[in-house]
Amino acid sequence: MEKEKDLYRETWVRYLGYCNEVGEAFRRLVPSKVVTASYVVSTGYVCADTIDKSYKDYKQGSSVKNVAITATDVFIWQILASVVIPGFTINRITYLSGRLLRQANVKKAIAKYLPTAFGLTSIPFIIPPIDHSVDYLMDNTYRKFVKRAT
């Protein structure tokens, strides 16, 4: 029997977790409400994955304690993999590429917008390594602790 595909981690829906990064990238160019909306989408994505996996666990007859463990696991995973690490990574890509472009004496107009483009185009490439790293981190910290505690 084939394992069910994870809607939130193995399909295009995964990109919704990065919506706030897109909003931040365009902060200087769009109204602040657009940036706020991007955070609403990302937060909704994180919450939807948490609720979905917790509910599936509940439907399978898990105890309230185990459903809470699942919810906490998914929420921590999503916060790390969709908010904290991507935010830092894209910020550094944008900052460092901007710095390199300025040092290379690239025209100011190009040096102003190209780092944003680099940050945005990096998203499809950084998702898999970030997701795998967060899996590794969770497996060796929280999940180990919870496994011993249950």
Distance (Å, rounded) from C-alpha 25 to C-alpha 19?
A: 10
For the chain, percent helix, then strand, then coil, each to nearest 5?
80, 0, 20
Per-residue pLDDT of the chain (150 residues; tens, 9 = 90+): 678 899 999 999 999 999 999 998 888 788 999 999 999 999 999 999 999 999 999 999 999 999 999 999 999 999 999 999 999 999 999 999 999 999 999 998 888 889 999 999 999 999 999 999 999 999 999 999 997 666
Q: What is the pTM (predicted TM-score) of this model?
A: 0.90
